[in-house]
Amino acid sequence: MHLVPSVNIPSFDYIFKYIIIGDTCVGKSCLLLQFTDKRFQPVHDVTVGAEFGTRTVTVEGRPIKIRVWDTAGQERFRSITRSYYRGAAGVLLVYDITRRETFDHLASWLEDARQHANNDRNTSTMMLIGNKCDHSPRRRVVSEEEGERFAKENGLLFLETSARTAHNVDDAFIKTASNIFKNIKDGVFDVSNCESSGITVGYGIASQKGRCCS
Ligand SMILES: Nc1nc2c(ncn2[C@@H]2O[C@H](COP(=O)(O)OP(=O)(O)OP(=O)(O)O)[C@@H](O)[C@H]2O)c(=O)[nH]1
């Protein structure tokens, strides 16, 4: 009998670093949990600093691992969470459609992300998410059109989601990944510099191109 040694070859073409930002209690941790575990957490468990999750998705037939940092929304953690922004290829900026103040604070979150997330070429893909769209229309205080307008004015992708029903949750993560993948194909990123681009090249691609970051 021949024993074949197992070789640990990463099963992805790229790893994309994401961060999720936005006010406290908008549902950032729930969106991540729904994306990674297909579960909903009905109780608010305050994030301290940042938490981490991963899932591999397929974009244009290619396996892409998405590595997500879910940051704390509370103001008192703001300086800690800024340290997680660096080199994020995808930024998910979340508000709660039933709380106007979470929408009003978007400009300040966006400024933070633009300042701290990526290199000076501003190559992050940013997705604006209006979460909790499962609530009854009576509870809604931010219309879908307002969300769309803010996204358009600031060059962001946009979706309304529900972490409770999972509506659009996978789409929010995967559409962001598709845009990053398109940017790679268009040569927007310097993927050889993982730290600033937020993109790690997997073994298969790296051996084709003669480079690998880990
Ligand atoms: N109805 C409804 N409730 C939600 C949804 N997403 C989150 N929640 C609830 O909103 C509360 C806050 O959710 P979290 O995901 O913990 O909020 P967070 O943004 O991570 O908060 P911080 O960790 O403090 O930054 C919890 O009670 C969730 O159950 C949703 O899509 N619909």
| 153 vs 187: CA distance, rounded Å | 25
The radius of gyration of the chain from alpha carbons, rounded to an integer in Å, stands at 18
What is the pTM for the complete model shown?
A: 0.90
**The residue type at 76:** R
* Contact of 91 with 21, CB cutoff 8 Å: yes
Helices (H), the chain: 28-37, 78-82, 100-104, 106-116, 144-153, 169-185, 194-197, 203-209
Question: With a 6 A CB cut-off, is 132 part of the ligand 1 pocket?
Answer: yes
Helix (H, G, I), strand (E, B) or coil at 192: coil
Q: Which residues of 116-139 are buried (b: 16+ CB within 10 A; e: fewer)?
A: bbbbeeebbbbbbbbbbbeeeeee
Question: With a 6 A CB cut-off, is 46 part of the ligand 1 pocket?
Answer: yes
Per-residue pLDDT at 8 exceeds 70: no
CATH topology for the 14-206 domain? Rossmann fold (3.40.50)
pLDDT for 19-67, tens place per residue? 999 999 999 999 999 999 999 998 888 888 889 999 999 999 999 999 9
Residue of 140, 120, 138 lying closest to 130 (CA atoms): 140
Mutation test residue for ligand 1: of 24, 29, 45, the one with most atoms within 8 Å of CB: 29
| 73 vs 68: CA distance, rounded Å | 15
Helix (H, G, I), strand (E, B) or coil at 12: coil
| 177 vs 62: CA distance, rounded Å | 11
pLDDT for 53-108, tens place per residue? 999 999 999 999 999 999 999 989 988 888 898 889 999 999 999 999 999 999 99
Mutation test residue for ligand 1: of 30, 32, 75, the one with most atoms within 8 Å of CB: 30
In the chain, where the domains are located: 14-206
For the chain, give the mean pLDDT.
Answer: 88
